[in-house]
Amino acid sequence: MTLPTPAIVPERGAQRIPRWILLLFCAAYVLPGLVGRGPWRNADLSAFGFMASVAQGHAPWHVPAIAGIPAEGGLLPYWVGALAIKLLPFLSADLAARLPFGMALAGVLALVWYATFHLARTEAAQPVAFAFGGEAHATDYARALADGALLALMASLGLLQLGHETTPEIMQLLATALYAYALAAAPFRPRKSLLTSLVALPMLAMSGAPAVALGLGLAGALVCRGSHYEAVRKLLPWLLLSSALAALAAWPMEGWAWRLRAHWAWELLPRYLSLLGWFCWPAWPLAAWTLWRWRGHLTRRHIRVPLVIAAVPLLTSLLMNASDRAMMLALPPMAVLAAFALPTLRRGVSAAIDWFSVFFFSAVVLFIWLYYLSMQTGWPATPLANIRRLADGFEPQWSAAALALALLGSLAWLALVRWRTARHQHALWKSLVLPAGGVALGWLLLMTLGLPPIDYARSNLPLMQRLAAHLPRQAGCVAAPGLPLHVLAAMEFQGGWAVDASKALAQSDCAYAVVSVDTATRADANWQAIGTVKRPTERNASLVVLARQAQR
């Protein structure tokens, strides 16, 4: 038995955010971090290394490689980045590769808005009709909920850093959001739904997540099979075709061998729950409230579609040792679910969210400004001393543009807080505007005022500059067995050395080698250490430069 809808929304509650303000929100979230920084170590730099290897002709398109080590999983993200590098030669390679991934993040935000809009237009999602009229109009109600879903996604902590990297997971995120749109729009946009469903799952598989693609395909097929909408039921064979294409697309790229590796242990459950708790905040508590308040409507498409799409990556993350990158794919559908909690929130809960956001994000803003003041003036002395202690060799930089953007963002935050707290607001999305605004402002300040120390600590460029003091630029071949991919990528594309990491040190013909401390201690007598290098953020040496005895 289906319970009556729990949404009671008067006409004044279905206000929409002015489009120019919503676009400014999105710009403040997406654009910071695109320019002014280099690739950051680990996944961001490793992915860029594979893209640059193809674009600069160091490796073929079908086998991107760093220092002779081929890429694993889907190749589509590397092709996208490499193509951007080739089409934008007037930009630095890392900036050119980053641009399409920034556009992908913007696409995710737009797709979440439209998916929520179409789901909220269905009959079962509509608010209670008042006896004498005055309830929210269906279209206005859907737009207000879509605005709320977009704010919920931007407020999610897990999307903040991972969503701004140049990694395959961004393309996976885009494909997941595209699939959510395909299922949501099927009753109203059948042709667009058909085309996007055919694209989404193969795109997901070609980006390195074929198992997730098949899981989503199966879940979507079950949703379509039991739908009351004829247009949705007609989508079923196309979803099966899309799933088959996804499976076929993964085989040539050896995506199955890469992704289907799970080592489950019960000890991982607390770690998984902890990750879920902060990574999906604040979307997950709102999504859980939606499931409770709409529990009589779990079979309705406005609940079932985002629920099944979120369940697949959440399960995948659990099976992949609590992977945060797999969990990120659950954020778009979880934000859609969170939006349907907004018409049912009590005033006390909404007020608690607002005051927590005001105090927490205002404290973050003051903290960042305090560190910036210390870097530029030396007062107070402790923050700058802490930075120099943690990042050896860092020197503060000043940028008028960064300061101007940070001031504008801070003034906008004060105006937003004043708007929210000055009087009672009726809009459905009012409870999420401060969390989303605080996250966007925090990211803006970090990528303007805090970017110099963050970039210095996260980049491998300072490490390469220290390495260049011991390793000649004309060193020829440099052996680097056992080093992480991001270090190898930095050596090739920031240091400019020809690196070979595919052979063991004893089998290498190179005149020089860069290895870890442990590998250096096991090197034979043909090699002699000529220098040690440490990362600015590490206390002990992390790399050792070796030269063959015959070269000395």
Q: Are 85 and 52 in contact (CB under 8 A)?
A: yes
DSSP annotation of 189 reads: -
State yes or no: pLDDT of 252 exceeds 90: no
| Structure confidence by residue, pLDDT tens digits, 278-313 | 999 999 999 999 999 999 999 999 999 999 999 999
Q: Write down the pTM of the prediction.
A: 0.96
**How far apart, in whole angstroms, are the C-alpha atoms of residue 95 and residue 364?**
28
Residue type at position 185: A
- Tokens 């008042």 identify what position? 130
Among 214, 205, 261, which residue's Cα sits nearest to residue 75? 205
- Tokens 């034979």 identify what position? 524
| Structure confidence by residue, pLDDT tens digits, 458-483 | 999 999 999 999 999 888 899 999 99
Q: Calculate what percentage of the chain has a pLDDT beyond 90.
A: 84
| Structure confidence by residue, pLDDT tens digits, 52-73 | 999 999 999 999 999 999 998 8
| Structure confidence by residue, pLDDT tens digits, 536-546 | 988 877 899 99
Q: State the pLDDT confidence band at 258, using cuts at 50, 70 and 90.
A: very low
| Structure confidence by residue, pLDDT tens digits, 496-519 | 999 999 999 989 999 999 999 999
Spell out a b/e string for 342-361, using b for 16 or more CB atoms within 10 Å of the CB, else e. Answer: bbbbeeeeeeebbeebbeeb
State yes or no: pLDDT of 164 exceeds 50: yes
Task: Provide CATH 3.40.190 ranges for the chain.
Answer: 462-551
Can you read off the two tokens belonging to residue 340? 């349907």
For the segment 391-398, the average pLDDT, to the nearest whole number, is: 92
According to CATH, the topology of domain 462-551 is D-Maltodextrin-Binding Protein; domain 2 (3.40.190)
